[in-house]
Amino acid sequence: MPEIVPPYLLSRLAATQEPHLARAAAAARATLAAPRRYLPVRANIDLSVDGGALVVEASPAPDRVISDAQTREELPGVRVRGEDDPVSTDTAVNQAFDGLGATFRLYWDAFGRSSIDAAGGTLPATVHYGDRYDNAFWNGERMVFGDGDGEVFTGFTQSLSVIAHELTHGVVEYSGGLAYSGQSGALNESLADVFGALTEQHAAGQEAAQATWLIGEGIFTDAVQGTALRSLRAPGTAYDDDVLGRDPQPAHMRDFVVTEADNGGVHINSGIPNKAFFLVATALGGYAWDRAGHIWYLAMTGGSLPPSADFVTFAAETLAIATQEYGEGSEEVDAVRAGWIGVGVIEDDESA
């Protein structure tokens, strides 16, 4: 199941014997052991015919519904805020509501997409899931956020990139899906990170050169030696902590991690396509969602990717889209090619 905190990080925390982190270790063990039922998406798109033309009914405004699990591991929880309701006294409720709105605005403003299903569907989320639950996830129906243990992790709704990351897992799924294992799973995680970063940049009005390119900034407490869960700018540098260890993400195929853990390294090896996108976006400059994001969005939603797509397949798709959208020999095509060469996914023909 797509989650923001990788299992290898929680396992490190669960195994710590540090007395001052006893509560966090217990919370990590409980988080790892918690049962979560995955619910496959079933698309519900309203279609009509007007004068012989097929019309898709979609609204350019979000339909957010926030529920409260009240520290139980039961979904959906109690409905606490919708579009016509006043601001809540609960900070996590408001953070989830605002974060979903910001993510909706990126997808609508930049790509003309209305909601997860591209048809104005409800954006459902649950906060306060579990007791000191150390994660956030997409379960095939809704986005779910824990409150963290308070010693290592804070509330997961504090990070806009986390909220957008989970919503994007839904977009990937509605667009045909990528199998959540191996390289296709790493692409799934990378796309969630890419559009999580773009949502933060869009909300702040930042150009690529100004952005932090961090995922999960703000969800670690001050006790952790680290800034975020992941970095697209420099995979492998987001944290280096005595308890959690060092961020294990590679930034190049020469360092690709072969493992059966983490669904075949979906959170680890996502650093490679993450870095590729960063290279493309910063080479093109300006707002990252305008050109680099446009290419990645079309690759994610175009329907041409097989569920088992690997990095090479995805790279070829982005090159084909860049060529189609901007023309062979364009700055955009050159940037996409250089980005994938830069992380070792495709070869540099000139040096072959």
SS (H, E, C) the chain: CCECCCHHHHHHHHHCCCHHHHHHHHHHHHHHHCCCCCCCCCCCCCEEEECCEEEECCCCCCCEEEEECCCCCCCCCEEEECCCCCCCCCHHHHHHHHHHHHHHHHHHHHHCCCCCCCCCCCEEEEECCCCCCCCEEECCCCEEECCCCCCCECCHHHCHHHHHHHHHHHHHHHCCCCCCCHHHHHHHHHHHHHHHHHHHHHHHCCCHHHCCCEECCCCECCCCCECCCEECCCCCCCEEECCCEECCCCCCHHHCCCCCHHHHHCCCCCHHHHHHHHHHHHHHCCCCCCCHHHHHHHHHHCCCCCCCCCHHHHHHHHHHHHHHHHCCCCHHHHHHHHHHHHCCCCCCHHHC
Q: Are 140 and 39 in contact (CB under 8 A)?
A: yes
Establish whether 73 is a catalytic residue: no
Angle, vertex CA 2, rays to CA 173 and CA 80, nearest 5: 90
> In 223-260, which positions are buried (b, 16+ CB within 10 angstroms) versus exposed (e)?
ebebbbbbbbbbbbbbbebebbeebbbbbbeebbbeee
Using the Cα atoms of residue 190, residue 10, residue 94 and residue 67 in order, give the sign of their dihedral. positive
DSSP bridge pairs for 138: 143
Residue from 166, 173, 217, 332 carrying the catalytic annotation: 166
Establish whether 332 is a catalytic residue: no
Residue from 267, 294, 317, 332 carrying the catalytic annotation: 267
* Active site residues per annotation: 166, 267
